[in-house]
Amino acid sequence: MKKSKVILLPCNSYREEIVYNSLKKGLELLGGIQSLVDKEEAILLKPNLLKKAEVDRAVITHPAVVGMFARILREEGYKDIILADSCGNGSTSKVIHGTGMDTYLEELNIPAVDYSKGTKVEYPEGIQAKEFIIPEELLERDCVISICKMKTHALERITGAVKNSYGFIYGFHKAKGHTHYPSADSFARMLVDLNQYVKPRLYIMDGIVAMEGNGPGSGEPVPMNVMLMSEDPVALDSVFCRLIHLKPQLVPTNYHGEKMGLGTWSEEQIELVTPEGEITLNDAVAQFGNPYFDVDRKVIRHGGWERLAKALNIFQKKPYIDENKCVCCGICVNSCPVPDKAVNFRRGRKNPPSYDYKKCIRCFCCQEMCPEKAIRVK
């Protein structure tokens, strides 16, 4: 059985020449970009553009990674390239404005596209999801390249290659998706179906500076000094997990991704390669790992007591608002996908919102979108 190849690129700086040379080497180790994408194909670059944030907060894919990869594509003769994402809050052009990513795109004559219309597509082969609402501009492309960010995630433990594909869902249908797939497992299976429908040609992960703790939008930046690259998003995410001392099978997108045939998290099925040659996962962890990385490593049990506790809403993780940090902006309320809102200004607009945990579906969109780091999940 052919192994899934993951390229691990040591990279301790966002200096252009360092990122550029690392990405060039990574593509070479994969067999060259032309082995993955024909020059005549229309390409869509899909970074993680969760929301407007300072670049050094590690909320979005770093502009240097996107810009240097786009430069390589131009130098290799690729002409039809756009960049787009279905952002959590804001549009592509607004989120990248002033980050430096917009400057790279302008220099390379690559449009930043704001999605304008969603189209319903059928996917009868899906295990969890049989249909999606996909932006028309994405459907017009021949090839998607995912450029994700190494971060923690309140619902799925991590967000990486597989989770980045949720930006293939159009606009407000992303929020609605959380009501259709409210558990970590059902949401992960939907994400696997989505990756299998869109079929990104290549996945690149920016882990030069990652986000730990209260991710994916309110955590803390932490240097990991690597970039990862693979055609297999599950294998890529699994290497990320091992570097932060998290068992890959505890991440729902990895567990279901392997079961549903998207990729593999199994160590014996992953070929890990650096510019210096092949390396074992144990050696990679010893050289590049961080055992102190703040991520949820708890094992979830599934016995009778645990099922009863879940049904009765006992001991489940919940979002909490730090009233000392809250500025009453209302973004958490607007981002809540529950029709009659699980978080609302029940105590008046001048006071922080409060939760009705009986309505809360634990999607943690409120925590993800909060611009003030005022919401934690515990």
Delimit the CATH 3.30.70.20 region(s) of the chain: 304-377
Q: What angle do helix axes 252-259 and 233-243 make, rounded to 10 degrees?
A: 140
Q: Is the pLDDT of residue 303 over 70?
A: no
Per-residue confidence (pLDDT) for residue 304, from 0 to 100: 54
pLDDT averaged over every residue in the chain: 95
* Degrees, nearest 5: CA angle 218-223-229: 95
Q: What is the tens place of the pLDDT at every residue in 26-43?
A: 999 999 999 999 999 999
Query: Residue 230 pairs with which residues in a beta bridge?
Result: 6, 203
**Residue range(s) occupied by CATH 3.40.50.11440 in the chain:** 4-288
Helix (H, G, I), strand (E, B) or coil at 75: helix
What would the CATH number be for the domain defined by 4-288?
Answer: 3.40.50.11440
Q: Is 238 helix (H, G, I), strand (E, B) or coil?
A: helix
Exposure string of 169-201, with b = 16+ CB inside 10 Å and e = fewer, is bbbebbbebbeebbebbebbbbbbbbbbbbebb
Q: What is the pLDDT of residue 307?
A: 56
Inform me whether the pLDDT recorded for 163 exceeds 80.
yes
Which whole number is the average pLDDT over 274-297? Answer: 98
pLDDT digits (tens, 9 = 90+) for 331-370: 999 999 999 999 999 999 999 999 999 999 999 999 999 9
Q: What percent of the chain shows pLDDT beyond 90?
A: 94
pLDDT digits (tens, 9 = 90+) for 225-269: 999 999 999 999 999 999 999 999 999 999 999 999 999 999 999
CATH no. of 304-377: 3.30.70.20
